[in-house]
Amino acid sequence: MKVRMLAALLFLCLTHPVFGAEQFQDDLKERRARVMERLGPNSILIMFSADEKVYSNDVNYEFRQDSNLYYLTGIDQPDTILVLMPGNQERKEILFVKPSNPVDEHWNGHLLTRQEATQQSGIATVNTTTQFEQFIGAMLSGRPFQAQAQEFEPFFKALQENRAKVHLVLGPAPRLDQKLSEKYEFANKLRERYSGFMVADAVPMFRELRQVKTEYEQKILQESADVSAEAHMAGMKAARPGGWEYEVEAAIEYVYKKHGAFDWGYPSIVGSGPNATTLHYSKSDRQMKDGELLLVDAAGFYKFMTVDITRTYPINGKFSQTQKDIYNIVLMAQEEGMKAAKSGNRFSDINGKAVEIVKQGLLRLGLITDASGDQYRTWYTHGATHFIGIDVHDAGDSQRPLSPGTAFVIEPGIYVRESALDALPKTPENAAFIAKVRPAVEKYKDIGVRIEDSFLLTNSGLVRLSAKVPRTIEEIEAFMRVR
pLDDT in tens, 51-74: 999 999 999 999 999 999 999 999
Tell me the pLDDT tens digit for each residue of 156-215: 999 999 999 999 999 999 999 999 999 999 999 999 999 999 999 999 999 999 999 999
CA angle 110, 115, 121 (to 5 degrees): 90
CB-based contacts of 309: which residues, under 8 Å, 6+ apart?
A: 225, 228, 229, 232, 297, 298, 299, 452, 453, 454, 466, 469
Average confidence (pLDDT) over 286-312 = 98
pLDDT, residue 15, reads 36
Kindly indicate the confidence band of residue 5, based on its pLDDT and cuts at 50, 70 and 90.
Answer: very low
pTM: 0.93
pLDDT digits (tens, 9 = 90+) for 409-426: 999 999 999 999 999 999
What are the sequence ranges of the domains in the chain?
23-209, 213-482
Angle between the 347-365 and 321-340 helix axes, to the nearest 10 degrees? 160
pLDDT given for residue 20 in this prediction: 72
Chain centroid, CA 477 distance in Å: 30
CATH topology of domain 23-209: Creatine Amidinohydrolase; Chain A, domain 1 (3.40.350)
What does 308-323 look like in DSSP terms, one character per residue? -EEEEEETTS---HHH
Residue 457: DSSP 8-state: E
Q: Contact, 392 vs 299, CB < 8 A?
A: yes
Q: What is the spatial distance between Cα 88 and Cα 199, in angstroms, rounded to a whole number?
A: 19
pLDDT of residue 11: 36
**What residues pair up with 212 in beta bridges, in sequence order?**
406
Residue 483 confidence (pLDDT): 78
What is the Cα–Cα distance from 193 to 201, expressed in whole angstroms?
Answer: 19
Q: Say if residue 77's pLDDT is above 70.
A: yes
Compute the mean pLDDT over every residue in the chain, rounded to the nearest whole number. 94
Helix, strand, coil share (%) of the chain residues, nearest 5: 45, 20, 35
- Residue 19 confidence (pLDDT): 46
Asked if CATH classification 3.40.50.970 holds for the domain at 213-482, the reply, yes or no, is no
Please, which residues have CB within 8 angstroms of residue 154's CB and are 6 or more apart in sequence?
A: 41, 42, 87, 88
How confident is the model at residue 2, as a pLDDT?
41
pLDDT number for residue 13:
41
Per residue in 364-405, pLDDT (tens digit) is 999 999 999 999 999 999 999 999 999 999 999 999 999 999
Q: Which residues, at least 6 apart from 63, have a Cβ–Cβ distance to it below 8 Å?
A: 50, 52, 76, 77, 78
